[in-house]
A and B are shown apart, each in its own frame.
Chain A
C-alpha cells in the first residue's frame, strides 16, 4: 500500500539549475497538493490540483510550476533554483478536498540550493 510517493528524498542543487520533484499517489484521489516547510515554520501551499488537467496557485507559487496530466501524478518543477527555495517539500492528496482534513502526505523531499 504505497499511498503518496515522492522522489527524490534529498537533492542538492546549484543556483540556476532546474529540477522536477515527482509525486505519485495510488489512491485514485482527485485532489493533490504541494507544500513547502521552512525551518521552524508550518507548511505553506505552493500549488494544488482538483483533478487531471486543472491546477491552481497556492500561497507561495513564485518560482514553481506544476502539471497534472494524470490523476496519479503531480510533478513540481523548479526552473531556476534560488537559495530561497531551500526547504522540505511535501506532496499530499485527498479524495474530497482539504475540508475533510484527510490529506495523505508523502515523506517529503529535502532540497538544498547552494
Chain B
C-alpha cells in the first residue's frame, strides 16, 4: 500500500530562521508526484511546492525548497527566513503517475513561528 509518513507532529522555528519538515513515503511506482500543502487556521489548503519523481533537481519556490531523495523515499521541506505567516499545518502528499484523484496525504506537521 502507498503511504505517506510525517514523523513530526509539531515543529517550532524562530522568525527569520530556517526549519525543515520531514516526509517519507512508500511506493512501488516509478512514476509519481510529491507535494507539500499548507493549511493555515482558515483551513483552506494551499499548494506550496510540487516535485516530479523523474526530475533529479529539487524543486524551489521562493523561500520554500525540497530535498528529494528518491532512493530513500524521502521528501523534506525547507523553509528559509521563516515568517509569522508561515505558521500553519503542513501536509506532505503523494500521487502515482496517471492518477486523476488519488492524492494521499500524511497526517501533517503543525509549524509554529516565534517572533
Contacts and interface: CB of A to CB of B under 8 A. Distances in A.
Contact of A92 (B45, B98, B106): B45
B45 A45 contact: no
Given A40-B107, A100-B50, A105 B44 contact: yes
B72 to A, nearest CB: 21
Given A42-B4, A100-B50, A107 B101 contact: no
A23 interface: no
B33 interface: yes
Contacts, number: 74
Contacts of A58: 101-102
A99 interface: yes
A98 B45 contact: no
Nearest to A56: B101
Which interface class (under 10, 10 to 19, 20 to 34, 35 or more) fits A?
Answer: 20 to 34
Given A42-B91, A43-B105, A50 B47 contact: no
A41 B105 CA distance: 9
Contacts of A99: 33, 95, 97-100
Nearest to A50: B100
Interface string B3-46: 01000000000000000000000000000010100000011111
Contact of B103 (A50, A103, A107, A108): A103
B33 to A, nearest CB: 5
Interface in A77-114: 88, 90, 92, 97-103, 105-108
B107 A101 contact: no
Contacts of A33: 101, 103
Nearest to B36: A101
